[in-house]
Amino acid sequence: MRVPDDILGCVCFLCVKETKDGSDRFHYGGTGFFVSLPSESQPGTSHIYVVTAAHNIEKAQRYGSNLYLRVNTLTGEAKHVEVQQPWTFPEKNGVDLAILGWAPPSSIFHFRTISIESCATEAVFEKEDIGLGDELFCVGLFTQRHGTKKNQPIVRSGIIAAMPSEPLEDTDTRFEYDAYLAEVRSIGGLSGSPVFVGLPDVFHTATIKRAREKLFYLLGVIRGHWDLKKRETALDFADDELNQVNMGIALVTPIGELITMLNSDELKKQRRKSEEVFAKQKAPTLDSGFPEPKSFTKDDFESALKKASRKITP
């Protein structure tokens, strides 16, 4: 299955920082990705969110460090942005998701977003006849090759092995949750990665027109995997995950859980407030709050990075 190159640009890497002997070292252990939600009152603009698995945030906190997002820049390198604002978690127990309303400044960072309109909803499943055995792929971090200068995401492919027809149980919290089972070798670093269901391109024989509107849909988010040592594990900010041989089955949180979060009253309220500010200030984006400079120097770059670290707003 050929994966569009732009898909690689929708992910960022999650890491924590360790300072030792006066030098900083980053430990990579998860993936995040950018989704966009069209504005209701400002045509042509969108609200942008970073999405990942909630346990990535929890493990970073237990590590004793703030979480950093490593995002590629327009100069061909990657920069670390410290997340200082709180993440939003689902109200429903057992759902392993976290979102942050933040858009990297487009004048500095090179990234792509996945439109919420590309999600594999129930209507899409019925229309496209998606089911068991359909191909899927995920894009994310490979901890042994994150890239020395810039993010180097990898692609892993597989099939839908089981539908979320009955809830599973988290062995640690005892909370029930829904998940697709995907036959795809899931290893440390892919936790929080977007999972897409890919569809073969078909044409109507009579009209020679494409029968499908899209060739892939956002199916869900990698939660974890089954391995041979433990019934279920969540991927971690540690190397011990790499030494475990898993059973080739990944757990994928259905994208419907993310849609439910984005449609919460609190986030709707935040978006309306952001749109009101946008309408008054006529800012270039709804989320970043950064002006687009006509010329861009190294000083501008460092200043904007510091500003991004301080002001990550919904």
Q: Write the DSSP string, 34-58.
A: EEEEE-SSSTT-EEEEEEE-HHHHH
CB atoms within 10 A of CB 11: 28
pLDDT in 10s for each residue of the chain, 314 residues: 778 888 899 999 998 888 877 788 888 889 999 999 988 888 888 899 999 999 999 888 887 678 899 999 999 999 999 988 889 999 999 999 999 998 888 889 999 999 998 999 999 999 888 999 999 999 988 766 776 788 888 899 999 999 999 999 988 889 999 999 999 865 656 889 999 998 776 555 555 554 555 678 999 999 987 654 444 444 445 444 444 445 678 899 999 999 999 999 999 999 998 888 877 776 545 553 333 333 333 344 445 445 444 433 33
The strand pair at 216-227 and 233-234 is best described as antiparallel
* DSSP state letter for 203: B
- How far apart, in whole angstroms, are the C-alpha atoms of residue 55 and residue 237? 10
The DSSP code sequence of 273-305 is: HHHHHHHHH--S-SSS-----SS--HHHHHHHH
Alpha carbon distances (Å) from 49 to 116, 157, 204, 270, 287: 10, 25, 37, 12, 9
Q: What is the pLDDT of residue 100?
A: 94
Q: What angle do CA 229, 234, 236 make, to 5 degrees?
A: 100
- pLDDT given at position 314: 33
Distance of CA 289 to the CA centre of its chain: 21
Asked whether the whole model's pTM tops 0.95, one would answer no
Alpha-carbon gap, residue 31 to 221, rounded angstroms: 10
Tokens 């971690």 correspond to: 236
pLDDT at 243: 44
